[in-house]
Each structure stands twice: as C-alpha cells, then as structure tokens.
C-alpha cells in the first residue's frame, strides 16, 4: 500500500464528464489498495473568468478581496468530486485550504506557505477517508484567505506530499509529460522519462508551463518524487527526481523558448561605483525580476547597461527606470520587446565541454543573431529576435540529438 497524492489540473476537471473520469481514476487507485489524497484546480478558465469579473468591477481590485474571489473556483471542484466519489461508495471528504491547515504569509495573490498542520487530513486518511483538497489556497495567521500565485495548486499538492511523506506526488494534466521541446514547434520532440529537480526548475522558470516553478523548488527541497502524467490517456509520464547517472548521459535534456521577454538598455550611464546598485534597486523595489545583464563601455567614461525582464512588467518598470535614469544622469532608455530567449538545459553540461560553442555555431549556421548570452552550470540562454525563436529551437533540438531515442 502506498500513500499517493494525485493532483488534477483545470482541464482535467473542466466539465462534469471530466470530473467523472477523475472519480473513476481515484476509485481505481483506492480499490487497488492505496491511500489517496486528491488536490484539485478550479475548472479550466474559471480563475481567469473570476479575475476578469474583478477587473470589470474596478480597475485595481483589492488583493485581499481578490483572494476571497479567486479561491472560490477550487471549492466548486472539490465539492463536486467528493459528491461523485461518495455516490460511488468511496468515502471522500472535501477540505478547503483552511481546513487542511495550510498557513501562509500575508502576501495576498502570491502568498508563501509557512507551515502545514496536516493533522485533519492525516486523521481522515487514518479513518480510510479520501481527502479532496482545494489547491491554490491557504490562510494567513489571522485566518484570512490567501492564494499561492497562478498555477499554485501544484504547490499545494507537492507541499502536502512533503508534509505527509507521501510515496509520490502525481500531477495529472493535459499533456503526458515534459518534452524535449514544445511539440507544436518541434514535431519530433520526445517525452522525457526522467528529469532532475534542477533541470525541471530551469525548464519551468524558462517558460515550460507544465509545473509551477515554486512547486519544483519545494519538491527539490523535501525530496518529493513528482510524476507528470496525462489524465486523458494511460501510460507513463515524466518522473522528476534526484539527479542520477542516467541523466548525465545526455548533454542536453531540453530546449525551451520564452517570448515573454523585453530588453531594456540604459544608454550613457556615468561609469562609477554604485550605479548598477542604484539602477537595479529601483526595479527590485517593485518586485520585478531582472534576468540577463550586460554592461559595456560606450564612449569615454559612459557605459550602456542592458538587461532583460518579463515583457508584462515593462509598463510597471518604465516610470521607475526613467526616474532612476534622471537621478543617475544617464542619457536615454531604449526598450526592445520583439525579443525572445532560447535556452538549452541539461545536467550533462557539467561533464561535457564545448556545449556553448556548439550552441553558438548552430545559431550562426541558421543566420540567427545573438543579442545577449547567459549561462549557469546546467543552462545556456541566448536572447534573439522573436522571429528567429522557432527556427532556433528546431535547430538546437536537432544539433543535440534530442529527436532520437537516447539509447539508440
């Protein structure tokens, strides 16, 4: 008998028909003798719909009230699934975030989990009950409802799996795993059987949308094995776990692209100590995360500083940067948003050399201009023109042999 956390995403509970399928799956697992805890998302599109409603009411909805509203989507699905399971003779019970004891800080709409007092679900499990838990929500210490950021029900599932020491956390979604590249762009992309936490974290942060990045961080920290699987078809998925020797055999595990990027250049910045600190403190103060940074001396004692940030944050960042520019005595700010970032990720890079030069040669063969480069131990990213992104992904996927089975 294993203790399994099964999480079903929005498309998996998007209609009553689909909730019915989920009930069948949960029942099967229970009848096979396992203990199951279910975590659900809201029906697909529901959180977006609620968000639109809020913005129709007022241009800047209050964050506390937004959390009360957004958390309602998950209450609908847990109640419906628990009813259906009970109708089938499976002893199930729904739990809201508060009832499970998920305690977060007070950063409404992007709260962080502080502790989990899982005793109510532990007790339910011990009584043979199947807890059906609302993902994405918790309460702060004043019992006010909070939400964990978009995609946060993955985090609920992983955090509960960690706190209950579950044998596995299975994330059922609309794709059957994590792919070597987006199959819509690369037709011969393959499903990856096994991936390290570190690689998954890079892929998730770089734009692969299968798992919420924070849930991967949490899984890595507590060593929770996470499996990503299709809820529509049978068969294996992708297992995300500790790095092993198998994973190192491939130089690169995946190629990914991110279009939500913009490049900002501050031109004519006086080249003296403290300038970068001042400039980036201004942006960080608004919780905007800057990614790649390049500084080059232009003329005499003036420098240009370029960096990338999420395109969706530009409107918020620009006034802050204009202000910093004036204070620093810089000349102009240039924003270029027709850019994208292509990245290759793989723990194999640690033991194979020459990966970066292969990447650059491949892009050069395709006639693609590289604007910025950044690297980490297991990742290389290049910023390029957005129009070149798909051909860059295809060329790199082929160059690193990702379309072929690994052991061929």
User: What is the binding site for Mg ion (CB under 5 A)?
Assistant: 9, 151
Find the shortest distance in angstroms from Cβ 154 to Mg ion.
Answer: 6
Q: Which residue lies nearer to Mg ion by CB, 97 or 151?
A: 151
Element (H, E) at 281: helix 275-284
For binding to ligand ASP (CB under 6 A), which residues are involved?
Answer: 10, 41-42, 47, 73, 135-136, 150-154
Per-residue CA distances from 307 to 205, 279, 295, 310, 378 (Å)? 17, 11, 9, 10, 21
Q: Which residue lies nearer to ligand ASP by CB, 212 or 381?
A: 212
Q: Which residue lies nearer to Mg ion by CB, 41 or 306?
A: 41
Q: Which residue lies nearer to Mg ion by CB, 98 or 214?
A: 214
C-beta atoms surrounding 183 within 10 Å: 13
**Interaction partner, residue 135 (ligand ASP, Mg ion, none; CB < 5-8 Å by kind):** ligand ASP
**Interaction partner, residue 21 (ligand ASP, Mg ion, none; CB < 5-8 Å by kind):** none
Find the shortest distance in angstroms from Cβ 148 to ligand ASP.
Answer: 8
Q: Which residue lies nearer to Mg ion by CB, 175 or 292?
A: 175
Spatial separation of the C-alpha atoms in residues 190 and 330, rounded to whole Å: 48
Spatial separation of the C-alpha atoms in residues 101 and 120, rounded to whole Å: 8
Spatial separation of the C-alpha atoms in residues 395 and 73, rounded to whole Å: 41
Q: Which residue lies nearer to Mg ion by CB, 153 or 196?
A: 153
Find the shortest distance in angstroms from Cβ 266 to ligand ASP.
Answer: 34
**Interaction partner, residue 348 (ligand ASP, Mg ion, none; CB < 5-8 Å by kind):** none
Quickly tell me which residue has 């990503």 as its tokens: 228
Q: The tokens of 270 are what?
A: 């006086």
Find the shortest distance in angstroms from Cβ 210 to Mg ion.
Answer: 8
Per-residue CA distances from 51 to 29, 111, 137, 174, 279 (Å)? 35, 17, 15, 22, 33
Find the shortest distance in angstroms from Cβ 10 to ligand ASP.
Answer: 5
Give one DSSP letter per residue of 305-345, joined into a string. EEEEEEGGGHHHHHHHHHHHHHHHT--EEEEEEEEEEEEEE
Find the shortest distance in angstroms from Cβ 48 to ligand ASP.
Answer: 7
Q: Which residue lies nearer to ligand ASP by CB, 146 or 343?
A: 146
Find the shortest distance in angstroms from Cβ 10 to Mg ion.
Answer: 7
Helix locations, 147-196, DSSP H: 153-163
| Largest pairwise CA distance in the chain | 79
């Amino acid at each position: 008998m294993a203790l399994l956390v099964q999480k079903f995403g929005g498309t998996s509970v998007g209609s009553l028909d689909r909730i019915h399928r989920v009930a069948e799956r949960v029942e099967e697992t229970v009848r096979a003798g396992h203990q199951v805890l279910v975590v659900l998302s809201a029906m697909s599109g529901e959180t977006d719909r609620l968000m639109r409603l809020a913005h129709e009411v007022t241009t800047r909805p209050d964050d506390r009230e937004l959390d009360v509203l957004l958390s309602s989507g998950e209450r609908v699905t847990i109640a419906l699934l628990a009813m259906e399971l009970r109708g089938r003779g499976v002893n199930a019970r729904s739990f809201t975030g508060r009832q499970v004891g998920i305690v977060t800080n007070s950063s409404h709409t992007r709260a962080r989990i502080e502790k989990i007092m899982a005793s109510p679900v532990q007790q339910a499990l011990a009584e043979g009950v199947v807890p059906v838990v609302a993902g994405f929500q918790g309460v702060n210490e004043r019992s006010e409802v909070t939400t964990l950021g978009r995609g946060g029900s993955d985090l609920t599932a992983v955090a509960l799996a960690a706190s209950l020491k579950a044998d596995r956390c299975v994330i059922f979604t609309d794709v059957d795993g994590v792919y070597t590249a987006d199959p819509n762009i690369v037709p011969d992309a393959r499903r990856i059987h096994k991936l390290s936490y570190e690689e998954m974290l890079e892929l998730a942060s770089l734009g692969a949308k299968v798992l919420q990045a924070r849930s991967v961080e949490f899984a890595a920290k507590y060593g929770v094995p996470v499996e990503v699987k299709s809820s529509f078809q049978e068969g294996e998925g992708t297992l995300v776990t500790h790095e092993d020797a198998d994973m190192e055999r491939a130089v690169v595990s995946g190629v990914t692209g991110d279009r939500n990027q913009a490049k900002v250049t501050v031109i004519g910045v006086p080249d003296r100590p403290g300038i970068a600190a001042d400039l980036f403190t201004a942006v960080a103060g608004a919780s905007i995360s800057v990614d790649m940074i390049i500084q080059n001396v232009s003329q005499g004692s003036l420098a240009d500083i370029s960096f990338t940030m999420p395109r969706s944050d530009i409107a918020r960042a620009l006034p802050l940067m204009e202000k910093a520019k004036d204070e620093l005595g810089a000349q102009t700010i240039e924003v270029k948003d027709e850019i994208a970032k292509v990245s290759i990720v793989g723990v194999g890079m640690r033991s194979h050399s020459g990966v970066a030069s292969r990447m650059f040669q491949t892009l050069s063969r395709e006639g693609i201009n590289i604007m910025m480069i950044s690297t980490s131990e297991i990742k290389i990213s290049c910023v390029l023109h957005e129009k070149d992104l798909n051909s860059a992904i295809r060329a790199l996927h082929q160059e690193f042999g990702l379309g072929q089975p690994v052991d061929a």
